[in-house]
Structure 1
Amino acid sequence: MDTKKVIAAALTSTSLMDLFSEAVSKVKGSNYNEAQILGELLNRITPLNKKQAQAAGWAGHYAVGVGFAAVYAAYLKETRRKPMLLNGVIYGALSGLEGAAIWRATFKAHPNPPGVDLKNYYRQLVLAHVVFGVAAAATLRKMGK
């Protein structure tokens, strides 16, 4: 696995996912930005101040993006498939469902979660991960995966 390609795919994909989440947030009038919500969750249970918690939320979100991109790249390598629109959409949808399950468990376990419209958040999250998967496929393809 080429680490530079995985990191490039992760940075591009996570950034585009965040832009999508921000756009949905603006349209819906709710905060669906994963990194910001993660920062708020951290701020409520750690000694970090708001600024530190937000920085940790963003760092954590991008770190998870690296993990998701690495899994996708490993899948492509193992199956000897090329990164394509269809497998990017499928991987994104599957990772979105996994992400929704993780977020659900996180909100459930958190002693003081922020008020987030969870039903719409999870819908948005799956679609945001489809954006991630398509962007990861496009980035890996462009880089000659």
Structure 2
Amino acid sequence: MTYFIITIAAFAATTQMTIFSYAIARLFNQPYDEPFLLAILLNRFGLNNRTINRYMGWGLHYFLGLLFVIGFQLLLDIGFLHLSWMSAIAYGIGIGIIGIIGWQAMFRLCRTAPKMEYLGFYIQLIFAHIIFSLVMVVCYKMLI
């Protein structure tokens, strides 16, 4: 049952987070949509097939979402977090910070980073991960 909940929560949370990121990207006319950015970075790391990079960007994005839900489950299992809205918000902020560090590392490692407003991207990442965590907790509460 736990694997089912983790899988559903990861898919739903990653999807809602991505919808939020796409909306903010369009609102501010910036490339803040994570799967698109991952595809660009894959291309800049030397993987030159744009179609494959898009699929890999989406796959990597959902895989990372799954890892974040597994991390949440582990923190629940050891009693560090509880299935609550406050835990969701705290976890969202924490994984948002992890996301910012990861993106900064990827931008530094690639030959040329995408042109965009980075502070805005990092701010929206925090909110996107809070949304991720809230949706994840909704799934847990509905499926337990």
Please report the TM-score for the alignment, with normalisation by the length of structure 1.
0.93
- Distance, in Å, in 1 between the alignment partners of 2:47 and 2:99 is 26
Question: Is the 1:76–1:82 contact (alpha carbons within 8 Å) kept by the matching residues of 2?
Answer: yes
Q: Which runs of 5+ in 1 are unaligned?
A: none
Question: Is the 2:44–2:110 contact (alpha carbons within 8 Å) kept by the matching residues of 1?
Answer: no
Question: Is the 1:82–1:141 contact (alpha carbons within 8 Å) kept by the matching residues of 2?
Answer: no
Report percent identity of matched pairs.
26
- Distance, in Å, in 2 between the alignment partners of 1:101 and 1:80 is 23
- Distance, in Å, in 2 between the alignment partners of 1:45 and 1:109 is 8
Q: Could you say which residue in structure 1 is the equivalent of 2:138?
A: 138
CA gap 1:51/1:94 in 2 versus in 1, 3 angstroms: same
Q: Could you say which residue in structure 1 is the equivalent of 2:76?
A: 76
- How many residue pairs get aligned? The number is 144
Name which of structure 1's ranges 102-111 and 45-54 shifts more when overlaid on structure 2.
45-54
Question: Is the 1:85–1:138 contact (alpha carbons within 8 Å) kept by the matching residues of 2?
Answer: no
Question: Is the 1:84–1:141 contact (alpha carbons within 8 Å) kept by the matching residues of 2?
Answer: no
Residues 45-99 of structure 1: per-residue CA shift (max 9 Å, x gap): 2334111101100000000000000000111121075422111111001100111
Q: Which runs of 5+ in 2 are unaligned?
A: none
Name which of structure 1's ranges 29-38 and 44-53 shifts more when overlaid on structure 2.
44-53
Please report the TM-score for the alignment, with normalisation by the length of structure 2.
0.94
For the aligned residues, what is the CA RMSD? 1.5
Q: Could you say which residue in structure 2 is the equivalent of 1:129?
A: 129
Question: Is the 2:41–2:106 contact (alpha carbons within 8 Å) kept by the matching residues of 1?
Answer: no
